Structure 1
Amino acid sequence: MTAKTTKIDRLAELTAQRETAAGGSLWTEALRRLRGSKMAMIGGGIMAVFVIIAIIGPWIAPHDPTAQLWRGEVRVNAAEFVGPRAENWLGLDHLGRDELSRMLVGARQTLLVGVVSTLLGLAVGALIGGVAGAALSFGGAWGRRLDTVLMRVIDMMLALPSLLLAVSIAAVMGQSLTTVMIAVGVVQIPVFARLLRGSMLAQAGADYVLAARALGVRRRRVVLGHVLPNSLGPVIVQTTLALATAIIEAAALSYLGLGNPDASQPEWGVMLAQAQRFFDQAPMMAVYPALGIIITALGFTLLGEAMREALDPKLRS
């Protein structure tokens, strides 16, 4: 069993452990601890700022992000670039476009790719993990066989480096924004599948499940009405962490030229790739999108880790 798989299985056990250790509501205690966590406050603040900018960015951008309004002021061959000034707070790019406007508008596309790809991975992964967990817990011999088949496929996907798998999928499907969403989403599938399965297995042995089965409640109702809803805690935590990973991997694919074929449309990964050629003459062209990617991913990661610690009694002790 790999370290990656072990970490996922550990997260899957948290909800069941907390409900066994204390009679109070898991999420009430977790939210109380989150309110007192500096890590959660910083991560949540960064995430909120990023989402707000992504939503209102096109309306507050001072200029058209695709218009080469100051093309004549930038001379690439002579290494003459325009830095920050009153009219252009972050300067101009190599085609005379306003960097601030491109950063503001590019945040929306970055968020769109991250959210859609994460939701895709969550939907498919939860379906596979839910079926496997229900089959192993309540399906008898045939359920164990079905779980074995599904989990061996998931383990093979987990064994591959995530970025390598995403690049391979994107290369096969061709260059497009949809390709990036699908490639990053597929990478997220095995994590969500194994996580939900492990969480459901932990819940299957809980007292309320044993009582329901003893009273003759149908298996389908036990799974859908009790086990599945109480297994979603670790999945919610992982969704926050997966958003950070999705943003980084989507930017990496765009950087490699596998993203939106229309390079004029602002997106942080594309902006970083375009600025690479001019790093010696105008390093800030690369610094701005790089900082946007790093800070945004850091915000989601801090919030996700804070949520995980709030659920895990060992990490809090």
Structure 2
Amino acid sequence: MPSRTQRIDRLAELVAARREDGEGRGVWREAFARMRRDPMAITGAAIVGVFLLVAVLGELIAPYSPTAQTWGAEVFPNRNVFVGPRAENWLGLDNLGRDQFSRMVIGARQTLLVGVVAAGLGFTAGALLGGVSGAAHTLGGRAGRRIDTVLMRFTDMMLALPTLLLAVSIAALLGQGLTTVMVAVGAAQIPIFARLLRGAMIAQGSRDYVLAARALGARRRRIALAHILPNSMGPVLVQLTLSLATAIIDAAALSYLGLGNPDPSVPEWGTMLADAQRFLGGAPQLAVFPALAIIVTALGFTLMGEAMRESLDPRLRN
């Protein structure tokens, strides 16, 4: 004889199964099947895959040390004399005679680290804040709505500031450093995830499976954690993919403003872009290459996020 908890879970699963299509495929399986046929998703995945490969295998791909000033005698920054792309230096040399291609390859790891950690921090804190707020609003009664009001007013204050301005303010308070950039960019993402998850949970709170679970006497905590929260994560995961692109751009912007890694010898695309501004007249390629890397990488994550969003949209399903 199944227990009451098992009966509740089974009933919730049966009611939620109505969201599946006629062939019995779940929402996520259908979404990934659509993405495999979507040229936008394939293009984005290819860009992100190359970026991840370069970041992970940087030492094996880079032909030279990113800090070695091997060709320093061939560069004269004071006279705007630089070495452009050639056989031994595919992207030319920077102002100190370092191989630009090697610095671009090694710098991809720093950019990936900052972007992933920052987006992960924003996702974790935002999901916690939004999950508590959404559960309190949906199942907490009058007291829960008060908690939801307090949390959302705090979120609204964070949303009142532009994302980059909020990140710059936090970075200015914490001081220069790579950890500061991660915390600042991640904190700027918190209200976005919080608002999105709260809204999704409130929408799920009126679904049939929630009403059935409540009618059978399931505990509120179990309804929120076992049923409402898992069914609300779709839009949040899509936003996480899009936030990776935003985090990479914001991290590069903070490094460009001098709030990133205090060691200038460590390659990072934002820092490389800032250093290149002094030599635009003689060597514009020093700014073009890191700028293109930032743009293309952010574009890859954006294409994947948009493709995932369209695949999960029920209005676009056949």
Task: Check whether TM > 0.5.
Answer: yes
The equivalences for 1:207-286 within 5 A come to 207-286=208-287
The DSSP-based 3-state class of the residue aligned with 1:115 is helix
Structure 1 residue aligned with 2:202 = 201
The DSSP-based 3-state class of the residue aligned with 1:95 is coil
Structure 2 residue aligned with 1:105 = 106
- Output the amino acid matched with 2:220: R
> Aligned-pair distance for 1:202?
1.2
The DSSP-based 3-state class of the residue aligned with 2:237 is helix
- Are the equivalent residues in 2 in contact too, given 1:115–1:243 (CA < 8 A)? yes
- Output the amino acid matched with 2:108: A
Structure 1 residue aligned with 2:6 = none
Change (3 A) 1:56 1:223: same
- Output the amino acid matched with 1:131: V
CA root-mean-square deviation: 1.7
Asked whether 1:166 is paired with 2:167, we answer: yes
Aligned equivalents of 2:229 and 2:315: distance in 1?
24
Structure 2 residue aligned with 1:150 = 151
Structure 2 residue aligned with 1:184 = 185
Aligned equivalents of 1:93 and 1:304: distance in 2?
35
- Output the amino acid matched with 2:41: A
- Are the equivalent residues in 2 in contact too, given 1:18–1:313 (CA < 8 A)? no
Aligned equivalents of 1:107 and 1:19: distance in 2?
44
The DSSP-based 3-state class of the residue aligned with 1:165 is helix
The DSSP-based 3-state class of the residue aligned with 1:63 is coil
Aligned equivalents of 1:315 and 1:18: distance in 2?
19
Aligned equivalents of 1:47 and 1:156: distance in 2?
33
Structure 2 residue aligned with 1:310 = 311
Structure 2 residue aligned with 1:87 = 88
- Output the amino acid matched with 2:300: G
- Are the equivalent residues in 2 in contact too, given 1:244–1:297 (CA < 8 A)? yes
Asked whether 1:293 is paired with 2:297, we answer: no
Aligned equivalents of 1:133 and 1:77: distance in 2?
59
Q: Structure 1 residue runs of 4+, over 6 Å off?
A: none
Query: Which consecutive unaligned segments of at least 5 residues does structure 2 have?
Result: 1-15
Asked whether 1:65 is paired with 2:77, we answer: no
> Aligned-pair distance for 1:19?
6.5
Change (3 A) 1:251 1:111: same
Change (3 A) 1:67 1:19: farther
The DSSP-based 3-state class of the residue aligned with 1:263 is coil
CA offset digits 1:181-236 (Å, max 9, x no partner): 00000000001111111111111111111111111111111111111111111111
- Are the equivalent residues in 1 in contact too, given 2:310–2:316 (CA < 8 A)? yes
CA offset digits 1:97-121 (Å, max 9, x no partner): 0000000000000000000000100
- Output the amino acid matched with 1:34: M
Structure 1 residue aligned with 2:32 = 31
Aligned equivalents of 1:19 and 1:301: distance in 2?
31
> Aligned-pair distance for 1:59?
2.2
- Output the amino acid matched with 1:154: T
- Are the equivalent residues in 1 in contact too, given 2:19–2:27 (CA < 8 A)? no
Aligned equivalents of 1:274 and 1:160: distance in 2?
28
> Aligned-pair distance for 1:314?
3.9
The DSSP-based 3-state class of the residue aligned with 1:135 is helix
Change (3 A) 1:316 1:156: farther
- Are the equivalent residues in 2 in contact too, given 1:175–1:261 (CA < 8 A)? yes
- Output the amino acid matched with 2:214: R
Structure 2 residue aligned with 1:132 = 133
Kindly tell me the number of residue pairs found equivalent between the two proteins. 302
- Output the amino acid matched with 2:162: P
Aligned equivalents of 1:292 and 1:315: distance in 2?
32
Aligned equivalents of 1:91 and 1:21: distance in 2?
54
- Are the equivalent residues in 2 in contact too, given 1:19–1:26 (CA < 8 A)? no
- Are the equivalent residues in 1 in contact too, given 2:20–2:27 (CA < 8 A)? no
- Output the amino acid matched with 2:312: L
Query: Which consecutive unaligned segments of at least 5 residues does structure 1 have?
Result: 1-16
The DSSP-based 3-state class of the residue aligned with 1:205 is coil
- Are the equivalent residues in 2 in contact too, given 1:19–1:25 (CA < 8 A)? no
- Output the amino acid matched with 1:173: L
CA offset digits 1:251-305 (Å, max 9, x no partner): 0000000100001100000000000110111000101100000000000001101
Change (3 A) 1:174 1:72: same
Change (3 A) 1:204 1:51: same
Aligned equivalents of 2:217 and 2:18: distance in 1?
24
Q: What percent of counterpart residues are identical?
A: 67
